[in-house]
Structure formats: C-alpha cells, structure tokens
Structure 1
Amino acid sequence: MKFDFHTHHERCGHAVGSVRDYIDAAIGQGLDMIGISDHTPFFASDEDHSSPDGSMAKSEFPVYIEEVLKLKEEYRGKIEVLLGIEADFLPEHLDLYRSVITSYPFDYVIGSVHEFAGIGIYDSAYWEGLTAAGKLEVKNLFYAYVAQSAKCGLYDILGHVDSLNRYFKGYPEIRTEAADVMLKAIAESDVAIEINSSDDLWVPDGDLLERALHYGVKVTFGSDAHEPERVGEHFAAVASHLYEIGYREWAVFRNRQRLMVPIGR
C-alpha cells in the first residue's frame, strides 16, 4: 500500500496548487491513499486571517473541510482521499483546538511543533548565537514540547519530529537523554510519528529513528508536499530504510482509527 498523509495546498499561503491538484498528482504517483492536511487557522486570534503566509483563514476552515469531503466522494474508486489537518501544538489553546477539531469528521490529525518557548524551528540565526550549553537547553526544550504534544491526546500523528535537524547546524551531534524521554512518552501515548521527507532531508533519521523502533514507536509517512509534484516523494526509499533498520509495518488512518499495514520492499 502506497500513501502520503502530509500535504498542503494554496489556502495556507505558502504552498501552491489546489486540493484537486494534489489528488491528481497522487494518482499519477500510483498512491492508494492521499491525505490532505493543511494548516489549521489560528483559532485563538481575534482576526479571521492573522497569518496569511502561514495558515488558512478561520472562515476558510469549513470550506476546506467541505471541499475535501466532496472530493473524497468524487474520487472514490480511483484513490482514497482522506480528510486530515495539521495543527500546531499550542498548550495554552489546547482546549479550544480540541473543541473545534473534534467537531469535524477528520480521518486523522497531525500535531506539529513549529514554535516552543518562544523559539521558532526555522530560526537558525538564533541558534547560531547560542553557547554549547544554550544549544543543549534548546534541544531539551524541543523534545519536552514534543513529548507534551504526544501526551495531550489530540493527535494521531506527530509531524516532522526532530525538524530542528534541518535548520540548526550541528544539532544532530548534540546528545541528550531527553530524546529517550520523548520517545518513551510517544510510545506510551500510542501516537505515531511521521517520516517526513520534505526538503530531501528526512526527519527523524538515523540514530533517533532506530531508538524509536527500540521503544516501540509506530511510524507513518508524509511528504509535507507544498507543490503537487512532490506528493509521495521518497516514499519507496523511506520504506526501504525503515525495513533495513527493523520496522516491518507502518500506520494508515481512517476515521481517527489506526491500521498497521506491512512495509513493502
């Protein structure tokens, strides 16, 4: 079975193409399942569209859901279209996000940390200005946030775990026991993590992914495509890598229910 659970489209303001474009691209790539999972609006904001370059407007949220559900029916028999969403982990607004998200028929919810303790995951300049001790503290804080997101019970998938590896130079070489604490929390919370293949640098990769297997963390796949032509990118290579390190199955989702399927070679 070939699938991709992490895709965006033009509503978020930093992707291109319509929902239909991503579905058609998935068919072209021979996918069996395609998940549409654009960014949630900032529900806690007083403005309808407080981040035009980061997420959809609040008024667009029900329109997005209606469109995906219609396309799910239209493409039935050609490809399985899944209604997903990527929601930022914002602890101070967790109850609000939970109340909104659980009122719609999502097939799955991705929880992602894009900012933690006032630090943005793309802020490489901030990272470069830190001492070695400061960098270790940031890494520990990030892992603590991810562990907290796993425990909150809202998400089916944790998005781009260890994403700092892409933006913070020297990040992988910093060793910390906080990684094991995080992975144990994810396993105990029974939440899957995605292997995110965006930017041609998979996260998590290497040592952390092998440790995830050791702790019994379940995995799935998401390209994080922001252009239709990147749907399903690196799926086969990711599957092969997972199999080589010892994984034999990974997760797909329908109606907020997880099904484990074999990893093909």
Structure 2
Amino acid sequence: MTFDLHTHHYRCGHAEGEIEDYIKAAIDKGLEYIGIADHSPYFYSDEDQLYPGIAMPISGFEAYVQEVLQLKEKYKNQIHVLLGVESDFFPQHAELYAAYYRKYPFDYVIGSVHYVDEVNIFKQGRWDALSEAEHIAVKERYYDLIQQSAKSGIFQVLGHIDAMKGFYPAFSDIPADHAIEQTLKVIGEAGVAIEVNTSGGTKAVGGWYPSDRILERAHHYGVDISFGSDAHIPSRIGEDFDKVKQRLKEIGFKEMVYFVQKQKRSLPL
C-alpha cells in the first residue's frame, strides 16, 4: 500500500495545479490514499490573505474543505482522498486555529513550525549576522516550538522537523543535541507522529527531512513515522516512498502510520 499525506495546490500561492490534478497523479502512480494538506490561512490576521504567496485567504478556507470533500466522493471508487491541512503553529494563537479545525471533518492536521522569532525558517540570510551562541539559541527555540506543538493536542502529524536546514544546511551542525533529544522524547510521550518529508530535494540541502540521525533517535523514543512528499507539483506525488520505507526498515522501524478520521492506521514495512 502507498500513501502520501502532504500535498499542496494553487490556493497557497506557491504550488501548481488544482486539487484534482494531485488526485489524478496519485491514481496514475497507484497510491491507495492521497491526503490534501494545503497551508492554513493566517487566521489571526485582520487581513484576509496576509501573505498571498504563502497561504490561502481566510475566506477561501471553507471552499478548500468543500472541494476536497466533493473530490473524495467523486473518486471514492478509485482512491481514498483524505482531508488534511498543514497548519502553522503559533502558541499565542493555538486555540484560534484549533477552533477553526474543529468545524470540519479533518482526517488529520499536520503541525509545522514555519516561524521562529517571527522570521520564516526558510528566509535566506537569516543566519548571516548571528553569533555562534545566537545560532544555538535560535535552534533551541525552534525545537521548543516543536515541543509545544506536540503537546498542543491539535496535530496528528508534525511536519518536517528539521526544515530550518532547507536553505542553510549548516543548521544540522549547530550543537543543540539536547534540544533535539528532548523534543523527540516529548513527541513520543505525546503520541504524535512525525513525517518523513521528501521535499528537501527542492531546497539547497537536498535529501529528506528529518535526518537519519533524528530518525534513529525517534525510533529510540517510540515515535510514529508517517510520510509526505510535500508536493507542490503533481509529478512529485509519492516521491521516494519505497526508498523511505527501505531506510526506515534499516533503522529498525516496523511500520509507518497514516490517519483516517484522526484515527491512526498502521502500514507494516
């Protein structure tokens, strides 16, 4: 069986294609489950679409949900379409976001930290003027936010948990092992899954999120592992799924997980 829980489409402003294009691509590739999980609006903003090139407008969220539900019905005899969303995590706005998600029948919600100190994690040059001590402090704050997201109760899956390395590969070498270790312990205790996200190849870092070293420690703490291509073009649907399965088996994992109506299901490796 093959699934992909992390896909986007045109509404977010930086992906290509309609939702239906991703579903058709998933069918062509033989997937059994395809999750649609576009970027959540900035619900806290007074502006309808705070960052048009990053996330959909607040006013478009209802239409997004309804379109996925309609396509779920349309393609029910060909593939299981899952309703998801990739949600930003802002501790001060967590309940506001949770209230929006409670209105709809989401199969899962992916929690992703995209901002640290109010700066996007992918902003190139954000590290240039920082001292070594400041590098460590930023990395520790990043993982503290991930810990808070794990404990929030909002999410079934945490997205790309070392994605700050995307345009700054040296992020992986910043000495903050204790913060990562504690984060994985918290995630394991919270019973939230993390994804192997194969979109690192679209960034300067290449490869996957998270690193093998993090996956090995995740295994130690009993963290569940899910999968998402983070596709922003239909052709990337399911990218490297079989390679991910093989690598997880080598690390020692026995299964991957996905979610239907927020209930965890397991896929033996």
Moved more, 214-223 or 118-127: 118-127
Q: Does 1:230 align with 2:236?
A: yes
Match of 1:197 in 2: 198
Quote the offset at 1:148 in angstroms: 0.7
Q: TM-score, normalised by structure 1?
A: 0.97
In structure 1, how many angstroms separate the alpha carbons of the residues matched to 2:119 and 2:11? 25
Q: Secondary structure at the match of 1:144?
A: helix
Match of 1:242 in 2: 248
Moved more, 10-19 or 197-206: 197-206
Quote the offset at 1:213 in angstroms: 0.3
Q: How many residues align?
A: 263
In structure 1, how many angstroms separate the alpha carbons of the residues matched to 2:134 and 2:46? 35
In structure 1, how many angstroms separate the alpha carbons of the residues matched to 2:154 and 2:16? 28
Q: Deviations over 1:5-56 (max 9, x none)?
A: 0000001110000000000000111111000000111111112222211111
In structure 1, how many angstroms separate the alpha carbons of the residues matched to 2:52 and 2:120? 17
Change beyond 3 A, Cα 1:129–1:169: farther
CA RMSD of aligned residues (A): 1.0
Q: Report 1:17-56 matches (<5 A).
A: 17-56=17-56
Quote the offset at 1:165 in angstroms: 2.0
Q: Secondary structure at the match of 2:166?
A: helix
Q: Which runs of 5+ in 1 are unaligned?
A: none
In structure 2, how many angstroms separate the alpha carbons of the residues matched to 1:51 and 1:123? 14
Match of 1:169 in 2: 169
Q: Does 1:90 align with 2:90?
A: yes
In structure 1, how many angstroms separate the alpha carbons of the residues matched to 2:244 and 2:24? 22
Match of 2:114 in 1: 114
Moved more, 241-250 or 117-126: 117-126
Match of 1:252 in 2: 258
In structure 2, how many angstroms separate the alpha carbons of the residues matched to 1:169 and 1:39? 24
Q: Secondary structure at the match of 1:53?
A: coil
Identity %: 48
Q: Deviations over 1:145-167 (max 9, x none)?
A: 10111001100000111101222
Quote the offset at 1:204 in angstroms: 0.5
Q: Secondary structure at the match of 1:259?
A: strand
Match of 1:184 in 2: 185
Structure 2 residue aligned with 1:211, among 217, 223, 228?
A: 217
Q: TM-score, normalised by structure 2?
A: 0.95
Runs of at least 4 residues of structure 1 off by over 3 A? none
- One-letter amino acid of the structure 1 residue matched with residue 222 of structure 2: G
Q: Does 1:132 align with 2:132?
A: yes
Q: Which runs of 5+ in 2 are unaligned?
A: 202-206
- One-letter amino acid of the structure 2 residue matched with residue 91 of structure 1: P
Asked if structure 1 preserves the Cα contact closer than 8 Å seen for 2:200 and 2:209, the reply is: no
